[in-house]
Amino acid sequence: MKVLELPFVVRWADVDANRHMRHSAYYDYAAHLRVQLLKSIGMDLVTLSKVGIGPVLFREEAVFMREISMDETIRVNVKIKRIREDASHWTFYHEFLKEDDKVATTVTVDGAWLDLSKRKLTGLPDNFIQLVLDIPRTGDFEFDIKN
């Protein structure tokens, strides 16, 4: 599987009073990309809903290195940085790239799967585990050892 990377043109609604991309817009773009990634491996939100699960986040962290301004075209990619061998908990890592290929921002999110009826953490159905384990990985990828 190839790394999923999508282009975006920064909209006026994504810019703050300092005339650069607002902090929360980064999380919106990253979330959109993760949903597209799940869709690309056959785990769109409708399919997940039918089996009664959905992704849930525990932590989101952005590290800002370069400004991104309105009307700039950026590219955002997503990879797995850490995952449990049963794919129950995971860390996705996103890079926001400027037109010169320099990283402007990184977003890291930690999450798991939520049983939508019980409102408790759950594992993935067996037929989805390998799909998630096959998502492209960062260079410093590691398996998360369950405590």
Give the chain's domains with CATH numbers.
Answer: 4-138 (3.10.129.10)
If pLDDT is split at 50, 70 and 90, which confidence band does 89 have?
very high
Closest CA to 62 of 21, 90, 19, 17: 21
Residue 147 pLDDT exceeds 70? no
Residues near 47 by Cβ (< 8 Å), separated by ≥ 6?
A: none
Looking at residues 87-96, what average pLDDT do you find? 98
pLDDT by residue (tens digit) across 8-43? 999 999 999 999 999 999 999 999 999 999 999 999
pLDDT by residue (tens digit) across 39-82? 999 999 999 999 999 999 999 999 999 999 999 999 999 999 99
Q: How far apart, in whole angstroms, are the C-alpha atoms of residue 68 and residue 96?
A: 9
The CA angle 127-141-143, to the nearest 5 degrees, is 55
> Percent of the chain, pLDDT > 70?
99
Q: How far apart, in whole angstroms, are the C-alpha atoms of residue 115 and residue 8?
A: 32
